[in-house]
Structure 1
Amino acid sequence: MRRWLAALVAATTSLVLVSLLVPLALLVRSVARSEAIGSATRAAESVAVAVGAVDEDTLRLTAEQAGASSGHPVTVFLADGRVLGASAARTPAVELAARGRSLTASAPGGREILVAVQGAPGGTAVIRAFLADEDLDEGVHRTWLALLVLGIVLVGVGMLVADRLARAIVGPTTALAEVSHHLATGDLTARARPQGPPEVRTAGLALNHLAERISDLLAEEREMVADVSHRLRTPLTGLRLEAESLSDPDEAARIEARVDALERAVTVVINDVRRRSRERASCDAVPVVRDRVAFWSVLAEDQARTVTLDLAAGPLRVAASADDLAACVDALVGNVFAHTPDGASFRVRLAAGGTTGADGMDGMDGGRGGGVLLTVSDAGPGFGPGDPSRRGESGAGSTGLGLDIARRVAEQSGGRLSLGDSDLGGAEVRLLLGIA
């Protein structure tokens, strides 16, 4: 905007200056030529006064002095053909002036200023003052150069003033954009400082009001979700008491483990929704994946499923918290149990960098040193019709949120999620996590 405004002012100022300076330059040239012609005419007239009043020698001396003082050669053509003063040819214009008519005529290299003096001894005498072309425009080019410099200076001053005015507008506008970017990234404490023109100040106040309203709405949402999550503790407590009252110790221990996992998930939700801002966390993915696969291995053993765990040598630090990564693994492995029949095996693989899978699929590159690739493959029926990664949609009767949880964890870390077919015969979910 600053460049556009400066260009607009430069164009406007240039048009105004051209409309003023061009006529002024022509006027300067006209005045300079009139002044030069007037100077030569005065020199000729000063000699004409002496014709007939002084002798020939004095007249010659007068013509020479007049020419020297004015800078224009002065010649006296007497009626008898004699020439006094500066040497000059008798041109047709001189012959015309000898008839008693004063005039100005063009001559090679300049102009002749001819003054006819009637009543001189022997007839009409002609006084000739020669005005060279360079004398006509003497000082004009210097004046034009001065006008050009003045025009350039005025255009520069106009552009400087326009830039200062544009800065007064662009600066506050840029500050508003920065505040909006901070708000977009989750920094709800960012506020605009009203400054600049009244319209920009009004926009800043409106942006601050919007930020306050967003903060209030998010606070209300956090409290509402936290209250709902907190209310789940009561049925969880009752479920724990029911589990403890079971007669089978193994069954009671297994149910208590499930209750503990559910209670941990509820606690994570409560802490997460009460957190004012989510700072980017990191964790070592190897122990998190190992722990969650071990958790699901108990249920896999009950359903006669074969579990294959392929972990790279750690540590593999990813740009996601341990809780988020655990929720992601639980969502992916939970989908295997929910959408494949009992006895269907699955495999969990964790490797450094985007590599080519066993099924020949192209590897993914997270753009952050390769990232960490988490792959969950199963021997089930594969994905159903439609796009199973879309939030809230599922072709198998579920809520469709499992893959969305995994996708959000991957994208927040700087990676992404992709789906494909597994070499085990079923579905495969490939999750590229950005490195911390």
Structure 2
Amino acid sequence: MRRWLALLVAATTSLVLIALLVPMALLIRSVAENGAMSRATAAAESVAVSVGTADLPLAVERVEWPVTVFLPGGRVIGEEARRTDAVELAATGRSVTAECDDGREVLVAVQSPEGTVVIRSFVSDAELMRGVREAWTALLVLGLALVVLGIALADRLARAMTGPIDGLARVSHRLAGGDLDARAEPGGPTEVRAVALALNHLAGRIGDLLAAERESVADLSHRLRTPLTGLRLDVESLRDPEEAARVGARVDALERAVSAVITDARRRSAGRESCDATAVVRERVRFWSVLAEDQGREVDVALPGGELPVAAGAESLAACVDALLGNVFAHTPEGASFSVRLAPHPKGAELVVSDTGPGFDPALLARGNSGGGSTGLGLDIARRTAESSGGGLAVSPVPSGGARVEVTLGRP
């Protein structure tokens, strides 16, 4: 916008200056020509006063102008000049002004007892244009200065307009990135201030809606956990072990699905967060290590020595780690070892979980088709956690057997 405003002002100012300065330049030239012609005429008339007297040669010498006097007998006094057709015309008794090769000649006819005397005063082109080019240069410099001044004022005005608009754009990008505390500072024209106030109101309204959604999610969690607990107790009371195991597996799948839905809703309703990935992964691995010890699983853990901040909330990252390790315990036989490695990455951090189980087909990792009777929601949670932080998820088989999941997390 600043460039377009500057171009608009430059074009408008140029048109106005052209409309003003061109006539002024022509007027200056006309005034200069009229002045030169007036001086030449005055010189010729001052000599004409001495026609018919003995002081004529002295009068021609005293005048500060190139003057030539053509006497009736053909004799010439003063500057040498060719007897042109205009001189012949003036000899008939008519005073004229005529164009010649290098300028103009002013011819004054004076009657004397011997006949008509023609006094010629010559005005060169340089005399006609004396001071005109300097005046035109001054007008050109003045015009350019006015154009530059107009552009500078337009740029200053444009900054006053575009500055608040750029601020609105930055705030909107921050809001889109999850920073719900971002607010625009009203400024600039009235309309821009109105937009800033409306954007701030919208951001506040979004925060209120997300707070209400978090409360609804928390209420949903409590409401669903109670009937699931009762259903699990009913399953445990079944007398048929096979039936109890079958129904119990379905209840487990339902509980995982409900947990995934609640975790995902909490993640979406929360603002942009960050945490120390090293601390979160260490705490979750310590939690799962108890179960790994009971099942005879060897755990290989490699964590950074210091903090490793990532653009994910502690709860979201903990749910991601739980989902990945839960898949290891759910889909690998007891005694199968696994490893957890966390290391810095150009984007932020990289979490790698690999196991020595039977592995899986990567083509079956879409939602609802991850194999082994799983719903696939564990990897889905991990993928959304990674993508929401600016990273991604990749799954690959281990050459020696097993699966490898790489989760890339962005930096805050």
TM-score greater than 0.5 by the shorter chain: yes
- Contact preservation (8 Å) 2:298, 2:335: no
1:186 aligns to what SS in structure 2?
Answer: coil
Question: Following TM superposition, by how much is the alpha carbon of 1:35 offset from its aligned partner in structure 2, in angstroms?
Answer: 2.5
1:366 aligns with 2:361: no
1:127 aligns with 2:119: yes
- Contact preservation (8 Å) 2:105, 2:123: yes
| Identity %, equivalent residues | 52
2:305 corresponds to which residue? 315
- Contact preservation (8 Å) 1:169, 1:197: yes
Letter paired with 1:224: S
Which moved further from structure 2: 10-19 or 314-323? 314-323
1:407 aligns with 2:383: yes
- Contact preservation (8 Å) 2:267, 2:316: no
- Contact preservation (8 Å) 2:292, 2:299: no
1:82 aligns with 2:75: yes
What is the CA–CA distance in structure 1 between the aligned matches of 2:71 and 2:285, rounded to whole Å? Answer: 128
CA 1:176–1:325: 2 relative to 1, 3 Å: closer
1:191 aligns to what SS in structure 2?
Answer: coil
Question: Following TM superposition, by how much is the alpha carbon of 1:327 offset from its aligned partner in structure 2, in angstroms?
Answer: 2.3
2:74 aligns to what SS in structure 1?
Answer: coil
Letter paired with 1:383: D
Question: Following TM superposition, by how much is the alpha carbon of 1:348 offset from its aligned partner in structure 2, in angstroms?
Answer: 1.8
The count of residues paired between Structure 1 and Structure 2 equals: 389
2:130 aligns to what SS in structure 1?
Answer: coil
Letter paired with 1:87: E
2:244 corresponds to which residue? none
Please, which of 276, 282, 287 is the counterpart of residue 282 of structure 1? 276
Question: Following TM superposition, by how much is the alpha carbon of 1:402 offset from its aligned partner in structure 2, in angstroms?
Answer: 1.5
- Contact preservation (8 Å) 2:389, 2:409: yes
Q: Deviations over 1:150-206 (max 9, x none)?
A: 211221232133223322321221222232233223333333344333432332232
Gaps (5+ residues) in structure 2?
238-251
Which moved further from structure 2: 291-300 or 164-173? 291-300
Letter paired with 1:377: D
1:431 aligns with 2:407: yes
CA 1:386–1:227: 2 relative to 1, 3 Å: same
- Contact preservation (8 Å) 2:278, 2:303: no
Letter paired with 1:40: A
Where does 1:319-358 land on structure 2 (aligned, <5 Å)? 319-320=309-310, 323-338=315-330, 340=331, 342=333, 345-350=336-341, 352-353=343-344
CA 1:182–1:313: 2 relative to 1, 3 Å: closer
1:2 corresponds to which residue? 2
Question: Following TM superposition, by how much is the alpha carbon of 1:64 offset from its aligned partner in structure 2, in angstroms?
Answer: 3.2
2:80 aligns to what SS in structure 1?
Answer: coil
Q: Deviations over 1:46-74 (max 9, x none)?
A: 3223323xx22x22233333x32xxx222
Letter paired with 1:297: A
What is the CA–CA distance in structure 2 between the aligned matches of 1:308 and 1:316, rounded to whole Å? Answer: 24
2:398 corresponds to which residue? 422
What is the CA–CA distance in structure 2 between the aligned matches of 1:289 and 1:226, rounded to whole Å? Answer: 22
Question: Following TM superposition, by how much is the alpha carbon of 1:11 offset from its aligned partner in structure 2, in angstroms?
Answer: 1.6
What is the CA–CA distance in structure 2 between the aligned matches of 1:428 and 1:148, rounded to whole Å? Answer: 75
- Contact preservation (8 Å) 1:292, 1:330: no
CA 1:395–1:237: 2 relative to 1, 3 Å: closer
1:358 corresponds to which residue? none
2:69 aligns to what SS in structure 1?
Answer: strand
Letter paired with 2:276: S
2:361 corresponds to which residue? 383
CA 1:83–1:274: 2 relative to 1, 3 Å: closer
What is the CA–CA distance in structure 2 between the aligned matches of 1:273 and 1:90, rounded to whole Å? Answer: 105
1:42 aligns to what SS in structure 2?
Answer: helix
What is the CA–CA distance in structure 2 between the aligned matches of 1:398 and 1:430, rounded to whole Å? Answer: 19
1:402 aligns to what SS in structure 2?
Answer: helix
1:168 aligns with 2:160: yes
Letter paired with 1:333: L
- Contact preservation (8 Å) 2:304, 2:343: no
Where does 1:110-259 land on structure 2 (aligned, <5 Å)? 110-118=103-111, 120-231=112-223
- Contact preservation (8 Å) 1:32, 1:140: yes
What is the CA–CA distance in structure 1 between the aligned matches of 2:25 and 2:227, rounded to whole Å? Answer: 96
Question: Following TM superposition, by how much is the alpha carbon of 1:137 offset from its aligned partner in structure 2, in angstroms?
Answer: 0.5
Question: Following TM superposition, by how much is the alpha carbon of 1:229 offset from its aligned partner in structure 2, in angstroms?
Answer: 2.6
Where does 1:18-29 land on structure 2 (aligned, <5 Å)? 18-29=18-29
CA 1:79–1:418: 2 relative to 1, 3 Å: same
1:51 corresponds to which residue? 51
- Contact preservation (8 Å) 1:344, 1:380: no
1:62 aligns with 2:40: no
2:300 aligns to what SS in structure 1?
Answer: strand
Letter paired with 1:406: A
CA 1:386–1:14: 2 relative to 1, 3 Å: farther
- Contact preservation (8 Å) 2:68, 2:81: no
1:385 aligns to what SS in structure 2?
Answer: helix
Question: Following TM superposition, by how much is the alpha carbon of 1:131 offset from its aligned partner in structure 2, in angstroms?
Answer: 0.9
What is the CA–CA distance in structure 2 between the aligned matches of 1:387 and 1:125, rounded to whole Å? Answer: 119
What TM-score does the superposition give when structure 2 sets the normalisation length? 0.79
When the two chains are superposed, the root-mean-square deviation of aligned CA atoms in Å is 3.9
What is the CA–CA distance in structure 2 between the aligned matches of 1:192 and 1:232, rounded to whole Å? Answer: 40
What is the CA–CA distance in structure 1 between the aligned matches of 2:22 and 2:399, rounded to whole Å? Answer: 84
